[in-house]
Chain A
Amino acid sequence: MIRYQLLEELVPVLQGQLVVCNIGSPSQELYALLDQPSNFYMLGTMGLCSSIGFGLALAQDKTVIAIDGDGSVLTNLATLSTIGNNRADNFILLIVDNGSYGSTGDQPTYAGDRTSLAKVAEACGCGNVVEVAASMTADALRSAIAAGEQTVIVAKCESGNVDVPVIELDPIVIAERFAAAVREPVSR
């Protein structure tokens, strides 16, 4: 299962949730599968998805799902210790770990070799760290949302991308509609 197929299975779970999505292919694939105002697409700034998502979770009460990648997490590994030491029970970090830099031509990352991001997250103080097969990711995410506890999910999947268009939304539009979705009262 590659990232696109994994995201496809997540669509019903992500609907209506605040989602901060990683730069490049992950955001483009999510945009193609489920565009919604409560998606924050990163158009640049590799590595900061987890940090943006965590800042958002600390600032307000709604559940935040940050969809990051193994290559990007390796770029900003220390943020796992910020996450591990400042608890926000509305924060779920989903690391789609395909062992490669997908957006740049599937070059291998060290996470696909000897580095375990789940063990790194645990060592950084993160609680509720689970490593799951790609096909189990939707269930793991559902459970994490229901549990209402800070969770890190490392979803192991295969390397590969599908051909989807780039995101043509203006960054200010992305930010404005996202901030409005954050402010919207919870209807459930």
Chain B
Amino acid sequence: MPTQTDQEIIDSLIANKIRFVTSVPCKQLSGVIELVERTDSLLHVPCNKEDEGMGLCAGAYLGGMQPCIIMQNTALGVVVNSLATLIQFYHFPLPMLISYRGEPGEKVACQVEMALHTKAILNQLHIPYYHFSEPAQVNRLSSILAHAQMSRKPVAILADAAFWSSAQ
């Protein structure tokens, strides 16, 4: 069931004229993805893998739609080349709404492994990230999306277990 926080995320996407959304599911993202699918002004095209999703987003941007990708932090192990040689090389804006698995509150031990690398990979790629650990921080999302679009860069929103579990 989508929460009020999920709805606030959707409202921020719409407020920043995002029209194209691709996603790879995560349990924590299920509410947001359900709302994306239901929202008429958002074209939702689920992808099979996140690098494919970045290709779709690049194309959509060239076609005049502001894109957003929704994915899990494990995906950062997949998309380094796409971020460097497509999104960054061609100066495409790409907000990445990321469920930050493997932080305290995590129940699956394996998720901790990629959590250890998440910020390191983003730092290595010079991608700014914003770590959300409580629902009130969602009020920063709109300005982060605007920042990605203004600077034509990828940005990461890392929303951890505490953020999703206390969302109302």
- Does A82 count as interface, using CB distance less than 8 angstroms? yes
Residues of A within 8 A of B53 (CB): 51
Contact of B56 with A82 in the complex, beta carbons under 8 Å:
yes
Contact of B91 with A172 in the complex, beta carbons under 8 Å:
yes
Could you give, for residues 18-30 of chain B, a 1 whenever the CB lies within 8 Å of some chain A CB and a 0 otherwise? 0110000000000
- Does B3 count as interface, using CB distance less than 8 angstroms? no
Contact of B90 with A55 in the complex, beta carbons under 8 Å:
no
**B-facing residues in A38-54 (Cβ within 8 Å):** 40, 42-45, 47-54
- Does B115 count as interface, using CB distance less than 8 angstroms? no
A20, A43, A76: the one contacting B89 at CB < 8 Å is A43
A54, A78, A174: the one contacting B59 at CB < 8 Å is A54
A-B contacts counted at CB < 8 A amount to: 118
Could you give, for residues 52-81 of chain A, a 1 whenever the CB lies within 8 Å of some chain B CB and a 0 otherwise? 111111111000000000000000101101
Contact of B56 with A54 in the complex, beta carbons under 8 Å:
yes
Interface residues in A, total, Cβ within 8 A? 34
Alpha-carbon gap, A182 to B92, bound state (A): 16
Interface-side segment among B61-69, B104-112, B117-125, B157-165: B61-69
Bin chain B's interface residue count. Answer: 20 to 34
Residues of A within 8 A of B85 (CB): 43-45
Which residue of B is nearest A79, CB measured? B52
Contact of B86 with A48 in the complex, beta carbons under 8 Å:
yes
**A-facing residues in B79-133 (Cβ within 8 Å):** 81-82, 84-86, 89-92
Contact of B56 with A52 in the complex, beta carbons under 8 Å:
yes
- Does B60 count as interface, using CB distance less than 8 angstroms? yes
Which residue of A is nearest B47, CB measured? A82
Alpha-carbon gap, A52 to B89, bound state (A): 15
Could you give, for residues 150-177 of chain A, a 1 whenever the CB lies within 8 Å of some chain B CB and a 0 otherwise? 0000000000000000000001101100
Alpha-carbon gap, A20 to B60, bound state (A): 12
Which residue of B is nearest A55, CB measured? B59
State whether A172 and B90 are in contact (beta carbons under 8 Å apart), knowing that A48-B54, A48-B55, A82-B48 are contacts in the complex.
yes
Contact of A56 with B45 in the complex, beta carbons under 8 Å:
no
- Does B51 count as interface, using CB distance less than 8 angstroms? yes
Contact of A171 with B51 in the complex, beta carbons under 8 Å:
no
Alpha-carbon gap, A44 to B58, bound state (A): 13
Which residue of A is nearest B20, CB measured? A59
State whether A82 and B52 are in contact (beta carbons under 8 Å apart), knowing that A45-B86, A59-B59 are contacts in the complex.
yes
A48, A58, A82: the one contacting B63 at CB < 8 Å is A58
- Does A178 count as interface, using CB distance less than 8 angstroms? yes
- Does A114 count as interface, using CB distance less than 8 angstroms? no
- Does B38 count as interface, using CB distance less than 8 angstroms? no
- Does B35 count as interface, using CB distance less than 8 angstroms? no
Those 5 A-B pairs whose CB atoms lie nearest each other, nearest first = A55-B59, A59-B63, A51-B55, A44-B85, A48-B55
Instruction: Give me 17 other A-B pairs in contact (C-beta within 8 A), A48-B51, A55-B59 excluded.
Output: A44-B81, A48-B82, A50-B55, A51-B52, A51-B54, A55-B61, A58-B43, A58-B56, A76-B49, A78-B52, A79-B48, A79-B52, A82-B46, A82-B56, A172-B90, A175-B91, A182-B62
